[in-house]
Amino acid sequence: MPNHLSFVDGALVLMSLPRKYKKHITFAAARDVLYEEFKSISILVDLMFSTYPLQRGGDENIKLGLENTGKMLDKGYSVVIFPEGHISKDGSIQPIKKGAGLIAVEMGVEVVPMVIEGIQEILPYCKMLPRKRGTVTVKKIGRAHV
């Protein structure tokens, strides 16, 4: 569960992992963003990052997303979820969506908190192209079994 600072955070997490883990990773993608707002590229993103839709809105029924998450876990995948539910405008940690805790507690999975640093200077909030070169770090900041 990494923080969320840019549109490329999934790729950054994937690039930071050892090769042996990459084929067992799937990403929960915000249904309203990837599958509605960016629908034209959703198939490509699905193929590249093994994504599946997860509802994130307060008024949305999260049941389907939780069922999809359970299916992926049952298949042996590690699931990457951005628990804030949206990209941070200023780099600060945003409130965690209720589904993230539910997944950790009810599905009994190990949670690996991660922090992404430096991307907001390279790729500012809601920009699609980098503004400059720089260094990005992705690191594990702990481990918890809930």
State the catalytic residues.
4
3-class SS letters over the chain: CECCCCCCHHHHHHHHCCHHHHCCEEEEEEHHHHHHHCHHHHHHHHHHHCEEEECCCCCCCCHHHHHHHHHHHHCCCEEECCCCCCCCCCCCCCCCCHHHHHHHHHCCCEECCEEEECHHHHCCCCCCCCCCCCCCEEEECCCEEC
Q: Is the Cα dihedral 22, 14, 65, 73 positive or negative?
A: positive
